[in-house]
Amino acid sequence: MIDFIKAISSIELPDVDEYSRITGLNFKSTFDRTSGEINSKHIHHGREFEAYYLHSKRLLIKGSIHKSSRQGSNYDDFTANEVSESLTSLCNILGINPKQMKLQNLEVGVNIRTDFDPEKILMNLICYKRKPFEIFSNDPFFGKKAILNQYEIKIYDKGKQFNLENNTLRYELKVRKMRQISNTGIVYLSDLQEKSKLKLLKSHLIKSIDHLIFSCDNIDSSRISDKQKSLILKAQNYKYWKNLESSVYKREKKKYEEAINKTQGINFKRFIKKEVSNKFDSLLLDESPGTCPNFTL
């Protein structure tokens, strides 16, 4: 559910040596390679987290709470209860109240099972809105992402990443600017421990899926008009979408989706939306206690 987070303390901390003694964190000074002078921040390198003690006596942290709870992996499910327990464990280590750690970035996403190779979805991705997808590994069928000003979309083959037996696709929204989700009321780490706010975060995740554009797979052209056939043919090329003005883009996207809904064998967008929504709900409603006894910074 929640994976990567970046947050900064809203209060001043004791001096770095005293704070290090209290928490047991091993902060090391950093150096300016040009001048050779010590920088005004100190870094603790954890296995899945980095903690920066800044010159302002505030703490900046970034890393994966999911991986920190699973000894480095994040291919399994991570429930809302486990998110809450992990954040409590994290803040206990830091000696800071979750209400005093203000979020700067976060990643929200789920792993879903598919009856087919996730590569089929990845190879049919055209663009997100009018942004092309970038490959974030040497293998184009491992994962793709679209980078926008305030957020990123990531879709990748989690099964291939961890050599899993089951076909597993990861769909993820990385919030780069918190104002993108301001209507959720999520500001501090403590807000991620409230299921009502996670529900509002889900709406952003689901809404993002609406902007995916896929090429057609298994077309039954007998069910559509010649005009729709022409549109589908043009729409397979990213350059077609890139060159459209905003108002025209919205109109053509609607026509395109109406056409492929009539003819496509597998509606990838509909499939992802349904599965992501169902998985998020199950992680939110799971009342079993969290299982994060081995949380490490």
The tens-digit pLDDT sequence of the chain (297 residues) is: 999 999 999 999 999 999 999 999 888 876 554 544 445 568 888 778 899 999 899 999 999 999 998 888 888 999 999 999 999 999 999 999 999 999 999 999 999 999 999 999 999 999 999 999 998 776 666 899 999 999 999 999 999 988 999 999 999 999 999 999 999 999 999 999 999 999 999 999 999 999 999 987 677 778 889 999 899 989 999 999 999 999 999 999 999 999 888 876 678 999 999 999 999 999 999 876 555 546 666
Residues 296/64, Cβ–Cβ less than 8 Å = no
Quote the pLDDT of residue 264: 64
CA distances from 37 to 31, 32, 54, 55, 77 (A): 6, 5, 16, 14, 45
pTM value?
0.90
Quote the pLDDT of residue 222: 82
Quote the pLDDT of residue 266: 77
Quote the pLDDT of residue 292: 54
Quote the pLDDT of residue 289: 57
Quote the pLDDT of residue 38: 45
Quote the pLDDT of residue 168: 95
Alpha-carbon distance of 2 to 73, in angstroms, equals 14
Quote the pLDDT of residue 260: 87
